[in-house]
Amino acid sequence: MYRKLVLFDIDGTLLKVGAMNRRVLADALLEVYGTEGSTDTHDFSGKMDSAIIYEVLTNGGLGKEEIAGKFDQAKAAYIALFRERAQPSDITLLEGVRELLDALSSRSDILLGLLTGNFEASGRHKLKLPGIDHYFPFGAFADDALDRNELPRIAHERARSITGKNFSSSEIVIIGDTEHDIRCAKALDARSIAVATGNFSMQELSRHQPGALFQNFAKTGEVITEILTPQLS
Ligand SMILES: [Mg+2]
């Protein structure tokens, strides 16, 4: 019987991707729009891939309709280039992640899923390279909505259709490395667990009042205890 639905962010939480990701997006946008906009300097943390494309091209002077007109083409170009170029050496699995996923997936009372701003195809590819894709039977992705705060509801619905269980807010845990992930949990009244392995420090993350906060996932047992802790709101 499932007790918890645990939804993981990808970048900065499970793994880090080298500089190639930014280059891939820049090249895909150059190919489709003739400009990479502000890709080189833009802050990607915690944002949806779709929103990033709009933001960097808007900064490059393109109008919303112009961006929308070729959006599907740009998305396809980015995914194709990412799959073509990404090598296992471009991905760094973060400390304790494999042990944590092993421990969580061996429990019959926990359902694992993804809640990420990645497009599904490129996000799944990032997970396949270090061999952790199989831990996640389902997820909610940038393909599903424009607003990240919509994703918890979508993940919740998918979890229900897979298990037949309607998880209550207090049974849902959202794990990520940015304030966006914490806010996402609040949108569903779920528990958030923040981890400082991305671009934000413990101090910065604590300002957004996550349910629990870790430097990294080295201590598997402590993370699992926090996952199983009842949500106090
Ligand atoms: Mg992240």
Tell me the pLDDT tens digit for each residue of 153-200.
999 999 999 999 999 999 999 999 999 999 999 988 999 999 999 999
Question: Structure tokens of 226?
Answer: 């926090």
Query: Distance (Å, rounded) from C-alpha 29 to C-alpha 55?
Result: 12
Instruction: State the Cα–Cα distance between residues 14 and 4, nearest whole angstrom.
Output: 19
* Overall size of the chain counted in residues: 233
CA of 154 to the centre of ligand 1 (A): 18
Question: Residue 116 and residue 219: Cα distance in Å, rounded?
Answer: 23
Helix (H, G, I), strand (E, B), or coil: what is residue 191? strand
Beta strands, E only, 105-170: 110-115, 139-140
Rounded to 10 degrees, the C-alpha dihedral 136/141/143/145 comes to 140
The pLDDT of 116-130, averaged and rounded, is 97
Instruction: Work out the mean pLDDT of the chain and round it to a whole number.
Output: 95
| Rounded distance from Cα 219 to ligand 1 centre (Å) | 20
Round to whole Å and give the CA distance between 120 and 127: 11
Residue 13 near residue 46, CB atoms below 8 Å: no
**CB 152 within 8 Å of CB 115:** yes
Does pLDDT of 233 surpass 60?
Answer: no
C-alpha span between 138 and 122 (Å, rounded)? 15
Are 172 and 8 in contact by the 8 Å Cβ rule? The answer is no
CA of 195 to the centre of ligand 1 (A): 10
Q: How far is the CA of 198 from the centre of ligand 1 (A)?
A: 7
- Name which of 44-48, 87-91, 220-224 the model is least confident about: 44-48
Stretch (H or E) spanning 120: helix 120-128
pLDDT of the residue at 7: 98
Q: Are strands 91-93 and 15-17 parallel, antiparallel or unpaired?
A: antiparallel
Q: How far is the CA of 149 from the centre of ligand 1 (A)?
A: 14
Domains and CATH numbers, the chain: 4-17+90-228 (3.40.50.1000), 20-88 (1.10.150.240)
Residue 175 Cα, ligand 1 centroid: separation in angstroms? 9
Distance 76 CA to ligand 1 centre (A): 22
Percentage of the residues of the chain whose pLDDT score is greater than 70: 99
CA distance 154 to 152: 5
Tell me, what's the pLDDT at 149? 87
Between the CA of 10 and the centroid of ligand 1 the distance, in Å, is: 6
Distance CA 24, CA 61 (A): 20
Tell me how crowded residue 75 is: count the other CB atoms within 10 A of its CB: 20
> How far apart are the CA of 176 and the centre of ligand 1, in A?
6
